[in-house]
Amino acid sequence: MTAPVQTLRFADAREAADLAAFLGRLLHYDRAAAVRLQAGGGALAVFGRPPSFDVLAIRAVRLADPYAFDATVSAGELLESLEESTGSGAVPAAVTGPPWTGVLPPRGGWQERPGLPGPLDLRTALSAAVAEFRTRDAGLPEERRTRAERDRIGRDVWSRTVGGTELPLRAVHAAQSLGFLRAAPDFPVALLATGSWMRLRTPYGSIALRRAGAAGGLGALAVSVGG
């Protein structure tokens, strides 16, 4: 394993535990996952891209020291460095990141957008979509049980938008799968937008993605606790 190059101290042990949980979920979808780290203002923002959802997942944690750095590292090595008992960790040596690490959401200009259903309605829509996908998948005749056919069903189901927004269901699915979404009536969720980007924000993290048909672009998301 590559030796860590910088020690991290988190504001408390829970921050290390929260980050460990997030990294574990990312690695469930991609054992070779890379994450981009941006530290500043007493917080560390961790960006990942779970391949099953085609979105950016962002988890921010509080730091005890005023670090300032920007690096792309192995998610697995970062997870192995975390010590939940002491609230500490280390930044592994940088790796050559995949293309998405250079295309992050913009720093500012985010505004809340109306039309997003509440957390219970989002959970209901998600459950219905999962049930539909399974039913349609189970109904495929043997000669059509291919990865391409299942991907087609997935695109049809998960590209549907929620409420009166442009947010696709796959973003809600990603938020649920990564532990960002809770099924409680008073759980705060918000939809933000700036330029061609959308962002589903909760207290546990954010899911960001480009609007359908948006052109590519570069940017850097400001570090802020809570995603």
**What would the pLDDT profile of 13-44 be if each residue is shown by its tens digit?**
999 999 999 999 999 999 999 999 999 999 99
Residue 2 lies in a domain: no
* The total number of structural domains that make up the chain: 1
Query: Tens of pLDDT along 172-182?
Result: 999 999 999 99
Residue 193 lies in a domain: no
Residue 142 lies in a domain: yes
Residue 117 lies in a domain: yes
The answer to whether the CB of 205 falls within 8 A of the CB of 177 is no
Supply the range of the domain harboring residue 141: 111-187
Measure the CA dihedral 131/134/136/142, to 10°: -170
Whether residue 195 has pLDDT greater than 80: yes
The counts of H helices and E strands in the chain are: 5, 10
Q: What pTM did the predictor assign?
A: 0.89
Query: Tens of pLDDT along 92-139?
Result: 999 998 999 999 998 889 999 999 999 999 999 999 999 999 999 999
Residue 214 corresponds to which tokens in the numbers above? 């948006």
Tracing tokens 């991609």 back to the chain, one arrives at 30
Which of 72, 28, 68 shows the shortest CA–CA distance to 50?
Answer: 28
Residue 156 lies in a domain: yes
The answer to whether the CB of 45 falls within 8 A of the CB of 60 is yes
